[in-house]
Structure 1
């Protein structure tokens, strides 16, 4: 047992009480509109707007691989934009954009924020959709960065 709770459901509707942080992986080129972010944007406008501004103003901030941005969308609800993929997949590209080192770094930042808030973390299988990663490689990072710090983690497998 690795300490992660796996459920069928929608990560944009996190279960439980108290402070909850919804984490997902973003790219480093400022693109938003495919994959899990579509579900995020259907619920809230703030995470996309904040991400786009963060990218637009990247010369003067920490935007880049391994960075994390936290956007409050409710009294006890946050969205964590984790920059963990280099570029995006295109029809012409066979390159896999996931960057495990960047996800690991961003999860470390997330752990600090979740601990400070006294919150739990909720996510789809980050980095394993459009980013092209595998859960076999991401899961140990989640365990090491979050579960090892006793931060409750729930992973959602979407049930259509």
Structure 2
């Protein structure tokens, strides 16, 4: 079984050769303006434009928790907008993260990555503004991607990566 590799760096500048998919978690409200998405938008306008159109036209498409939208941003480079967050605020109803939706999205992403022959690169998805914990997301990533031999690299921006999955840094650069 493949494993998850942890590195210090910027998930919007994935390392290595070949086709790459940058995966991240989006909310189901159409909001795009805080967290990791800002780093994506600084590099490419396409993921935000595609996400907003996907949300706007949701009555006629698959926009919902667990859905994945692949957006090509360069030669052999894609961004996976994954709907894994219900709402945008932590409050009386708990954190917006939806682990089941992330699990479904990662399963879909695995199939798409295998079709493309791609590796997957991500921050610690669902652990920033979504309010999740990596101890819950890491096993989903391992089961849905690494177990299917999809190479996965998790980027900690400025974090000490020696903790390898035990820490809970925010899901943003």
If the length of structure 1 is used for normalisation, what is the TM-score? 0.96
Q: In the TM superposition, what is the alpha-carbon distance from 1:15 to its structure 2 partner?
A: 0.2
Taking the aligned partners of 1:107 and 1:9, their CA distance within structure 2 comes to 22
Q: Take 1:7 and 1:46, find their aligned partners in 2: how far apart are those partners?
A: 26
1:154 aligns with 2:153: yes
* Structure 1: 4+ residue segments shifted above 4 A: none
How much does 1:2 deviate?
Answer: 7.3
SS at match of 1:22: strand
Write the deviation string for residues 45-81 of structure 1: whole angstroms up to 9, x where unpaired. Answer: 0000000000000000000000000000001000000
Question: Which residue pairs with 1:29 in the alignment?
Answer: 29
Query: What does residue 134 of structure 1 align with?
Result: 133
CA–CA distance in structure 2, aligned partners of residues 81 and 111 of structure 1: 13
Separation in 2 of the partners of 1:125 and 1:139?
Answer: 8
Q: Unpaired runs of 5+ in structure 1?
A: none
Listed as ranges, the matches of 1:8-157 within 5 Å are 8-89=8-89, 93-94=91-92, 95-157=94-156
Q: Distance in 1 between matches of 2:42 and 2:109?
A: 23
What is the CA-CA distance between 1:89 and the residue it aligns to?
Answer: 1.3
Return the TM-score normalized by structure 2.
Answer: 0.89
Query: SS of 1:16's equivalent?
Result: coil
Aligned residues: 158
